[in-house]
Amino acid sequence: MGPGPVLLVGAGKGEATCGILYLAGYLRRHGVEAYVRLYDGDQTEEDLQRTLKALIAHVKPAVVGISLKWYLHVHRAFVIARTVRKVDPRIRVVLGGNSAALWWRELLAFDCFDDVVLGDGEVPFLALCRGLAEVPNVARRGADGAPRKSAFDYVQSEANADVFYSHFDDIFLSQLDLGGFSGWVAPGKGCDQSCVYCGGRRAAQRLSFGRPNPFLRPVEPVRQDHREIDKHIWQYRYDFPGGSTPYLCDVWPGLELKHRATTYFLWGVPAPELVRQLSERFDRVALILDIGCFGESQRLELMGKGLLKPCPTDEALFRAIDDCLKYPNLELEVCGIAGLPFATSTSLKQEHALMEKVLRRGCKVGYQRLQSQPGALVTSHPDRFEMHSDAVTFDDFLGWFSKRGTVRKGIPMITFRDAALEKAVQQNCAQLDATIADFTAARTPVVTGRSKVKTTLLGRREVPLGDWLGRYKVPTKVQGVPVTVLRSYLGLGLAVAPTLDPRTFDDAMVEPAENGAVVLAALEACQRPVTLDEATGRLMRTHGLDPDSAGELLGQLREQRFISLV
């Protein structure tokens, strides 16, 4: 290996962007010892700081790369960078991602960051890791302390065949981290639309990535992505750029997909052939259609003004829904945003009527209120739409998220200046919430003690505690303690260690001692179809649980689909 090591982390909780996985593989193939922390389960800043100290002591990185893709994570990026600085001031701290590229001047005003990579990161980050003097697409402080950026010479396109997943057996520092990967594959990059609410719109792509147009990646690197990750995942996830049926049909042949599920995010409506291919090639399909907003008149007005991507009419939407309903292994969700510009009393009525109609067809519905998103037109210029944004500038967003959980809750929103209209939108959202809750309740099976259940796992394996949580985190004396790792039918993970004494070592990501033993006993009790009363009785006899505790445990396992009704 050459220069390094390098540690790549995400700035937010949960699963970081898959971009750091592509980057880590690229660095490995070019002689740099790169590692990732993909999944961040630390709930407090103190937990995060302890984890980072242990990671740095274990990896001893020369460079720490922080992925700041999403603006929601800007404050956490500062916590990470300042912790790295405190642990070892010699480490080079590099930021990358959409939000980092947007805010490079503001971020470099803080001495906890050394460089900001602008746009695609593979070539610039490799040059930084090698300590080269000339690095494209990078912003840093000059001799006078003022932030400056180098020439924007590296822009990926369909000609770049050297970006793909690799070294999945080497780049992860724990099995928990690898298990947190949800199967994302990026068939393409970029966007050519100008949605009013989106910080990743066409203008932002050109500004931050130098990318004039979106592109689909060459087929062979995308096939390599599938081959590299297949043994590690339970599903494949695809996003908007991969919507071309001929393209995907070029990628999929020869790949073993039938034993996997897929989640596919698509704006507009899918071609019937794409729906058929998804249903036939995968075991289960979750198809999520983004239609912009639920009010047709508002949707058409936004499209007519060039402020919304091409979205279907209601008639076209229901043709697509009817086509999707022909496939029993396909679950459909229709999503949109409430409170977009040009809402009227008419569009609010249309929202509710369309949502009810979609729900009656047996589809799921997802929606949220319009949020402030840096780089979005409505966030930067809310006055043009007679609206107000809770955050506009970098300082606004940093201040908001530095206080979230204490002074503030949630994320910054965009509202209407017209008080009557804003009140009407709020009332309509409350009605939408109630409608979704009513339909969900009506479809929820009535469960009694006589209902039959059965264990439904996608996977079960045994690993040592040190391999599961990472040897950097686990004391030597308990690294060999066996952990049973479970994957539910929904893809949720659970790790139990019945022989682990929590007084010796305790971690929120593992159920130790008696708790772990009871979970395994509950799954064993439901190995064959049994009534809930029978399973409850068995747990009472074998582990001394009272009826309420046994029922609560079985209910939690059923909600997460570790056990299912039969």
| Per-residue pLDDT tens digits for 446-479 | 999 999 999 999 999 999 999 999 999 999 999 9
381 and 501 in a common domain? no
pLDDT bucket at 211, cuts 50 / 70 / 90? confident
456 and 438 in a common domain? no
500 and 401 in a common domain? no
| Closest C-alpha among 96, 126, 95, 131 to residue 110 | 95
Mean pLDDT of 518-527: 96
Percentage of the chain exceeding pLDDT 90: 86
Domain contains 168: no
How much is the pLDDT for 208?
81
Domain contains 138: yes
Number of domains observed in the structure of the chain: 3
Residue 531: C-alpha distances to residues 231, 448, 451, 476, 554 (Å) = 34, 9, 5, 43, 11
- What residues make up the domain containing 466? 452-565
Domain contains 142: yes
191 and 54 in a common domain? no
132 and 190 in a common domain? no
314 and 211 in a common domain? yes
Domain contains 474: yes
How much is the pLDDT for 1?
47
394 and 265 in a common domain? yes
Domain holding 476: CATH number?
3.90.930
Beta pairing, strands 188-189 & 147-149: unpaired
Q: Round the CA-based radius of gyration of the chain to a whole number and report it.
A: 25
- CA gap 355, 361 in Å, rounded: 10
Domain contains 166: no
387 and 351 in a common domain? yes
Task: Please identify, among 443, 464, 488, the residue that sits at the C-terminal boundary of a domain.
Answer: 443
Domain contains 172: no
Domain contains 171: no
Mean pLDDT of 219-230: 96
Read off the pLDDT of residues 241-255 as tens digits, 9 standing for 90 and up.
555 788 888 999 999
540 and 426 in a common domain? no
Mean pLDDT of 70-76: 94
Helix axes 74-87, 45-59, angle to 10 degrees: 50
Is the pLDDT at 331 greater than 50? The verdict is yes
How much is the pLDDT for 234?
95
Domain contains 161: no
Beta pairing, strands 563-565 & 452-455: antiparallel
Is the pLDDT at 148 greater than 60? The verdict is yes
Q: Is 478 exposed, middle or buried (0-12, 13-18, 19+ CB in 10 A)?
A: middle
Residue 243 token pair: 């919507």
Task: Please identify, among 443, 465, 489, the residue that sits at the C-terminal boundary of a domain.
Answer: 443
Is residue 456 within 8 A of residue 488, CB to CB? The reply is yes
321 and 193 in a common domain? yes
356 and 211 in a common domain? yes
Domain holding 210: CATH number?
3.80.30.20
- CA gap 402, 444 in Å, rounded: 39
Mean pLDDT of 438-444: 94
Domain holding 132: CATH number?
3.40.50.280
How much is the pLDDT for 267?
86
pLDDT bucket at 489, cuts 50 / 70 / 90? very high
418 and 468 in a common domain? no
Residue with structure tokens 């006055």?
383
Q: What are phi and psi of 235, to 5 degrees?
A: -150, 160
Is the pLDDT at 306 greater than 50? The verdict is yes
Task: Please identify, among 443, 478, 503, the residue that sits at the C-terminal boundary of a domain.
Answer: 443
Mean pLDDT of 86-110: 95
Read off the pLDDT of residues 227-239 as tens digits, 9 standing for 90 and up.
999 999 999 999 8
pLDDT bucket at 408, cuts 50 / 70 / 90? low
